[in-house]
Amino acid sequence: MSGRGPRGPRGAGRGDQSRGRGDGGLNPYGRGRGDGANPQDFGRGGRGDGRGGRGDGRGGRGDGRGGASFRRLGDDEHTPGSKIFSPPGENITPEAEVETKENQIVKENQGLSLSTLSLADFQLPLRPGYGVAGTVIHLRTNYFNMTINAGKKLFKYTLTLTAKHKEPKKDKKTGKVKAPLVPPERSRKRRQAFALLFQHQDFRSIGHGVATDYGSIVITSKELPLDRDGTKDDFTGKEDAVQALNIIVARTPNLNTGVFQSGKNKFFHYPTDPETYDKLGGGLIAVRGYYSSVRTSTLRTLLNVNAQTSPFYPAINVLDLITQHGRGDWLTVEYFLHLLRVKTKYMKHKDGTDAVKIKTIIGFSQQLDDVLDNKGKVVTDDKGNVKKRRNLQDNPLNAQQVTFQCEEFDGKILTVEKYFKEKYNITLNTPQAWLLNCGTRDKPVWIPPELCEVMPGQAFRGKLSDHQTSQMILVAARGPAENARRIANGAHRVIGFRGNNPSLAAFGVGVDSKMIVIQGRILEAPPSDVWQKISNHPH
């Protein structure tokens, strides 16, 4: 797992295939033409710090592109009077060995001609140099040096999860046998399957030296005693090494129950106090977190850490959530709540303590109409049952309208409101609220929303409204100094790369606690007459 080869170590690169909108697409709400892939603008056009991230950006000066409201970022209520992140006692000079190697690479490739390149080479031409104009400055970046035990062997295994064998089902339209369902990556069931697997003695004997992406890959620090021989390949390529390191770095936040994942390598520390929520309106909150990514660079391997902000559901009562959402018809609200996980505590154990149950909201309660054919006759299935379909014209039903035959009470017909009173001695405060279906379409389980609490750590995947987007920008857009402080002071608590981390140590990996330093240049501003010409001829 050595550092990268001699390809473009410095420069004003494109980062994550994005030129300068804050963090290069990693955070859609970041602003400013800072450092390409990073939400911080630690300078302008200096030496890069890795391939892909390319570090310190290209262009902007960290004051944003979007108008006067962002011009003073870094000198606001979060960072009053402080525009530069400068931890006391830290060295602010680049690594001499790295600079020497970078200069050597440039010198060795100055004689290369573009005419000698071909599409078959599949290599981009190297830049001829790094510039000599302007004033040289030294800049901190949101990259951290990684130390890797070169003699440490890691082992990579590919796992396949298969569904439990049941009688195969056929698609009624095509007649083909349906493939068994397998939990998707990063799903709760898949994580539970991996957790059970790692309880096996072979994995437990390794201790902290087991990491996975919860997809199909497991990385171990020791070889597993497999019962049968499989194909063995050496993964010595750069891509394999980077993939393994990303999985290893993600092990700590993945095992932290207070940290929630939203997307690949994005981790968020969900606030526990509702009073501290950054509300976006419409029943959503903004939660801050971090994105991590291992990058190869000249003579070293780096960990890139970005500050992130994403929309989440608040951990509040579902009835309050519906009230906060407060827009659109009931179908819009149902879409907003669909597949949201909630917990209930109205059931009790034998000792009288609350029995917490986790449920998933399928939708609201609705009237079901008979399905009729073209001649107006009722349509039945193969078993003679009348087919039903949802009535989308009328509003969902509430606890006073839905009735069912309850065998517990001698087969009496009860409303949901009456059932909760008789069964659990609960008097509903809002019986007219639409009931939630927390079962299935065929076997519904009706629960009043006032008895459900939203489980924490659930990211919102839909589209934000214009108002929510503007609020998200206000929360997410921070100046370079504030973002640097967030990364330096908070990222290690979420990602866990500072101090003696046993998860990293088991794989022979360490991460420096200080940001790396690179070289940049301050260029003179163009003459005023140039700007005058541009303003007169904007196109």
| Residue whose tokens read 């009735």 | 403
Question: Measuring CA to CA, which residue among 359, 276, 362, 352 is closest to residue 312?
Answer: 276
- Indicate the burial class of 171 (C-beta count within 10 angstroms; 0-12, 13-18, 19 or more): exposed
Q: Where are the beta strands (DSSP E) in 319-449?
A: 341-348, 354-360, 363-364, 368-370, 388-390, 403-406, 412-415, 436-437, 446-447
Assigned CATH for 318-454:
2.170.260.10
Q: How far is CA 84 from CA 42, 142, 295, 481, in A?
A: 9, 14, 25, 5
Element of type H or E holding 303: strand 300-312
Q: Along the 539 residues of the chain, how does pLDDT read in single tens digits?
A: 444 443 433 443 333 333 333 333 333 333 333 333 333 332 333 444 444 433 333 333 333 334 334 444 444 454 455 577 888 777 788 888 998 888 888 888 766 555 566 666 666 667 777 778 899 989 999 999 999 998 899 999 998 887 776 666 666 656 666 555 555 555 788 888 899 999 999 999 999 999 999 988 999 999 998 766 666 777 778 899 999 999 999 999 999 988 998 888 999 988 887 777 899 999 999 999 999 999 999 999 999 999 999 999 999 999 999 999 987 788 899 999 999 999 999 999 989 899 999 999 999 987 666 666 676 677 777 777 767 666 666 788 999 999 888 888 888 899 999 999 999 999 999 999 999 999 987 788 999 999 999 999 999 999 999 999 999 999 999 888 889 999 988 898 899 887 788 999 999 999 998 999 998 999 988 787 766 766 666 65
Question: Measuring CA to CA, which residue among 511, 5, 506, 504 is closest to residue 238?
Answer: 5
How many CA atoms, within 13 angstroms, populate the side-chain half-sphere of residue 370? Answer: 10
* Residue ranges per structural domain of the chain: 155-312, 318-454
**Do 39 and 23 meet the contact criterion of CB atoms below 8 Å apart?**
yes
Tokens representing 348 are: 């009790």
d(CA 107, CA 109): 6
Element of type H or E holding 138: strand 135-148
What are residue 205's phi and psi, to 5 degrees? Answer: -70, -20
Q: What is the pTM of this model?
A: 0.74
CB within 8 Å of 73: residues ≥ 6 apart? 31, 32, 62, 63, 64, 477, 478, 479, 480, 482
For the chain, percent helix, then strand, then coil, each to nearest 5?
25, 25, 55
